[in-house]
Amino acid sequence: PQLANQIAAGEVVERPASVAKELLENSLDAGATRIDVDVEQGGVKLLRVRDDGCGIAEQDLALSLARHATSKILSLDDLEGVDSLGFRGEALASISSVSRLTLTSRTADADKAWQVFAEGRDMQAQVQPAAHPKGTTVEMRDLFFNTPARRKFLRAEKTEFDHLQEVIKRLALARFDVTFNLRHNGKSVLALQAAHDEASMARRVGQVCAAGFLEQALPIDIERNGLRLWGWVGLPTFSRSQADLQYFYVNRRMVRDKLVAHAIRQAYRDVLYNGRHPVFVLFMEVDPHAVDVNVHPTKHEVRFRDSRMVHDFLYGTLHRALADVRP
């Protein structure tokens, strides 16, 4: 099973950022309202994710490191309507097979916390008592310490950290209701307070996006035919170097979709924002029955029932808004 885990690890665990994505999604699935991420050396030396979610019971702690152990799917029916972020039960097993992993957790009704440790091939089966408030801390150290070939593919510390930070930014824009803190080598990099009103949501967007974005962006909020589009679209005055500032969410899930990209690009082009990469933070809200976000669990694809209508809505809304402010 260890070999199987390492093979699976190749799919799930590519670099610190992919570990961070799995751990943060677990925290969100656990109902966390606050997530603290501590990183050393780009996440290769240390990646610690601490949450205040539901925790893992003592008897489930060792099991949660086993492959295909998930608490999130009880039957095949669940596979259809799965709304948790992870559901394959592979992440923790894969991560622990290529690192040194400590899992510490406490549920609300437990009188103490418990801890389990795994190092590459060797899982220390013994579950030990530990000190921890309600919630879970996953501490991953020395990524790929036992797979040097994989380790060689890691990039410079800054590159790995940038990827990791991007993962957190994407999730932070999906979950305004959750507090996120990110520290790198002992320094605070992101401190995002839970945001429940428009002003504090806008503040978070400003913190997450490049400096100056909010000031040079057009706020959008349109509702039509049961579709709502809100957020910010960068104006041509905004620095053209931010080609990667493209965040699009469908029902709070980040999406990278050809149809969406096409509609936005087309609207930009047709208002003569020539040669400009569109920059945007946009949220679309649609009836969950009109969209299938689970086309592929790790890709950011989405399938709309009525894609023509969605395309026209996006194009029309953005075209009108941009045309109104054309210089």
Q: Could you tell which of Mg ion, ligand ADP, none binds residue 72, using a CB distance below 5 to 8 A set by kind?
A: ligand ADP
Among the residue ranges 88-96, 274-282, 291-299, 316-324, the one whose residues contact Mg ion (CB under 5 A): 88-96
Q: Does 12 contact Mg ion by CB under 5 A?
A: no
Site for ligand ADP in 5-24 (CB under 6 A): 22
Q: Could you tell which of ligand ADP, Mg ion, none binds residue 136, using a CB distance below 5 to 8 A set by kind?
A: ligand ADP
Which is nearest to 204 in space by CA: 233, 244, 171, 167? Answer: 171
CB of 171 to ligand ADP, least distance (A): 13
Which is nearest to 221 in space by CA: 317, 80, 113? Answer: 317
Residue nearest to Mg ion (CB): 86
Q: How far apart are CA 37 and CA 184, in angstroms?
A: 9
- Looking at 86, 120, 135, 278, which residue binds Mg ion (CB under 5 A)? 86
CB of 92 to Mg ion, least distance (A): 7
Q: Which is closer to ligand ADP, CB of 23 or CB of 286?
A: 23
Contact 263, 227 (CB under 8 A): no
Q: Could you tell which of ligand ADP, Mg ion, none binds residue 30, using a CB distance below 5 to 8 A set by kind?
A: ligand ADP
- Looking at 5, 6, 18, 26, which residue binds Mg ion (CB under 5 A)? 26
Q: Does 18 contact Mg ion by CB under 5 A?
A: no
**What distances in angstroms separate CA 214 from CA 73, 193, 273, 275, one per listed residue?**
40, 18, 18, 21
Strand, helix or coil for residue 157: helix
Q: Could you tell which of Mg ion, ligand ADP, none binds residue 71, using a CB distance below 5 to 8 A set by kind?
A: ligand ADP
Site for ligand ADP in 145-164 (CB under 6 A): none
CB of 136 to ligand ADP, least distance (A): 4
3-state DSSP helix/strand/coil % of the chain, to nearest 5: 35, 25, 35
CB of 25 to Mg ion, least distance (A): 6
Cβ-proximal residues to 46 (8 Å cutoff; 6+ apart), any chain? 38, 39, 40, 139, 140, 141
Q: How far apart are CA 92 and CA 25, in angstroms?
A: 12
Contact 245, 209 (CB under 8 A): yes
x/- mask, ligand ADP, residues 51-90, rule CB under 6 A, reads x-xxxx-------x----xxxx-------------xxxxx
Q: Does 28 contact Mg ion by CB under 5 A?
A: no
Q: Which is closer to Mg ion, CB of 43 or CB of 86?
A: 86
Q: How far apart are CA 249 and CA 166, in angstroms?
A: 15
Strand, helix or coil for residue 142: coil
Site for ligand ADP in 88-147 (CB under 6 A): 88-93, 136
Q: Could you tell which of Mg ion, ligand ADP, none binds residue 88, using a CB distance below 5 to 8 A set by kind?
A: ligand ADP
Q: Does 214 contact ligand ADP by CB under 6 A?
A: no
CA pseudo-torsion sign 251, 31, 58, 19: positive
- CA 153 to the chain's CA centroid: 22
Which is nearest to 18 in space by CA: 34, 2, 42? Answer: 42
> Tokens 């974005």 sit at which residue?
213
Q: What are phi and psi of 145, to 5 degrees?
A: -60, -25
- Looking at 5, 6, 18, 26, which residue binds ligand ADP (CB under 6 A)? 26
Q: How far apart are CA 56 and CA 145, in angstroms?
A: 27
* Residues forming the site for Mg ion (CB under 5 A): 26, 86, 91
* Residues forming the site for ligand ADP (CB under 6 A): 22, 26-27, 30, 51, 53-56, 64, 69-72, 86-93, 136
